[in-house]
Chains A and B, each alone.
Chain A
Amino acid sequence: MSESVLVIMEQRAGAWNRMSLETLAAGQKLAAELGHSVAAAVPGRGVAALASELALKKLDCVYAVDHELLADYTADGYTAALDQLIRKVQPSLVLFPHTYQVRDLAPKLATRFHQALISDVIGIRAEGGPVFVRQLFQGKLNADVRPGGPAPYFVSIQAGAFNADNVASGTAPLETFTPELTASVIRQRPEEPFRESTGAVDLTTAEIIVSVGRGIKEKDNIPIVAELAQALGGELAATRPVCDSGWLPIERQVGSSGQTVAPKVYIAVGISGAIQHLLGMKGSKTIVAINKDANAPIFEVADYGIVGDLFEVVPAMVEEVKSCTVLQR
């Protein structure tokens, strides 16, 4: 068995999930460092056009995994199809983008090969074989993880960990792979995806965002940060746990399951910086963090930081902002 990396790409309705291209960059880099060959596969129905696009990348082979029953994603259908592909291609490593779909699919697939998914990887090194970097304890610590047991190893790559612009171009042979699937193996009946009414709050156009996390402790304390947002003429936003608790409406949620924002300044108040939140705001031009825990992951992305009690710092900021806006008038 020749050593190879297989990248499983994700698409919906004929368009790439952007994270797939980042994973392709990761796959090319890893293969180069390990001296492996690298192939990519795109599962779905009618994926010939996307596969042809992949055939213009620097790859050793491209697989269009095409089947009528792959038109809609189902865990059962996609697992069966990729199981067959992997048994045919026999890669030593299988890379996925760490999307919601992959979280649904890849652990099931890995189990069929007596493996577990090394999920949400942020870095890769070749040190006598691949070593994968993962975040533990909500981003507070990193771990170097070495795969073991029988190959192939299954790995998913975190959004933003690799740069899609680094995907190398070239030419690759294209192969259509038609899995053997019957409707009876697919137990899930998916319906059309939908969006819930998101209300009127569009955080993506705000220049200043003051965002609040669990550190605010209770709903009655929300006005403390709301006042800062108002003094600065900015929008108020929140992390998922704050919205889950009903302290602020879900329309104000920033993060992988909420809105993705990139304001001029993002002031994170009492936010520890779990990866799901960072994904929604790390593109902000300036990030300010106010948190009592100096080791909170939010400080890893912050330009300015205050390690302190938000209940003292934020009201003092409001006073300061008010006094300079008065001076300006």
Chain B
Amino acid sequence: MKIIVSIKEVPVRDSQLRIASDGRWIEDGDLGYEMNEPDAYALEEALQLKEKHGGEVIALCAGPAGAARTIREALAKGADRALHIEDEQISSWGTLGLAQLLAKAVAPEKPDLILTGLQSDDLGYGQTGVVLAELLGFPHATIIMAAEVLDGRIRVKRELESGWFQNIEMPLPAVLTIQSGINKLRYATLMGIKKAKTKELKRLEVADLGVAPSPTATIERLYLPRKTKQTQLIEGSAKQAAAQLVEKLRFEVRVI
């Protein structure tokens, strides 16, 4: 089966974020980037399905030229080839425009299955996969914790709130958004990294995809959240702070 995995590059977890001078985005020039974590789980799931059923895994990414690093990582982990929709201002396309670009890139491949992470760790809108499914006319299911390919169909375990789950079956081709923790991530091997250099990485120009920008929501202002609670910050050396905290737990919170 042919599986496309849509991946995104996001700032490295625990990056120190600074708001840009226009107040609408972050200073992103000096940030490090990595594969969005839920997308890494989607890639792993695709690789495991390929190992079980055969076929091909294609990594798909829309992003600036620098995103090629993350795409190479996907190839090193085992994706067979990759599609890179290259644009330095990819975020200006908005969720709908971006999904339209992805749909145009995906359609000629006629995949059996499209996987992506349930949300991105930067914008966190959590909808690219679902929008992509609608644009392609594919059925979808979200927040998936297990996937089993049957004959022309797929049965998935969908996470609901508070520890509940539900199994759902639907015909292929389909789109699934994958929940973190569905599987155990592999590391790229040295051999994998070497092989990745020879694998096909096809660049697609935005202009060739024939999508008109359809701006929807825009960010007017970015700012630090206001605190909802007055936090007593306890300072001093680790030992002093620990002693003070325990004293407060004892005499103010009264749990010791």
Contacts and interface: CB of A to CB of B under 8 A. Distances in A.
B191 interface: no
Contacts of B256: 232, 321, 324-325
B163 A196 contact: yes
A117 B127 contact: yes
A285 B11 CA distance: 34
Contacts of B234: 304-306
Interface residues of B, number: 78
Interface string B214-256: 1111111111110111111110001101110110111001011
A193 B160 contact: yes
Contact of B169 (A117, A118, A189, A198): A189
Contacts of A301: 228-229
A303 B243 CA distance: 17
Interface in B112-155: 118, 121-127, 130-131, 133-135, 139-143
Contact of A260 (B158, B162, B168): B162
A260 to B, nearest CB: 7
Contacts of B16: 295
A113 to B, nearest CB: 10
Contact of A187 (B14, B19, B127, B171): B171
A320 B251 CA distance: 14
B231 A119 contact: no
B217 A141 contact: no
A131 interface: yes
Nearest to B182: A244
A141 B163 contact: no
A137 B11 contact: yes
Name the prevailing secondary structure of the A interface residues.
Answer: mixed
Contacts of B139: 75-76, 187-188
B164 A193 contact: yes
B88 to A, nearest CB: 20
A116 B95 contact: yes
Contacts of A302: 229, 231
Contacts of A306: 233-234, 241-242, 245
B161 A191 contact: no
Question: Which of A100, A118, A193, A321 counts the most chain B CB atoms within 10 A?
Answer: A100
Interface in B158-181: 158-171, 180-181
A305 B233 contact: yes
B94 A116 contact: yes
A251 to B, nearest CB: 9
22 contacts: A104-B140, A108-B140, A114-B96, A114-B214, A118-B217, A135-B124, A137-B122, A141-B26, A143-B219, A143-B221, A188-B169, A191-B168, A191-B169, A240-B181, A257-B161, A295-B224, A300-B227, A303-B231, A305-B231, A305-B234, A306-B245, A324-B256
Interface of B: 11, 14, 16-17, 19, 26, 94-96, 99, 118, 121-127, 130-131, 133-135, 139-143, 158-171, 180-181, 184, 214-225, 227-234, 238-239, 241-243, 245-246, 248-250, 253, 255-256
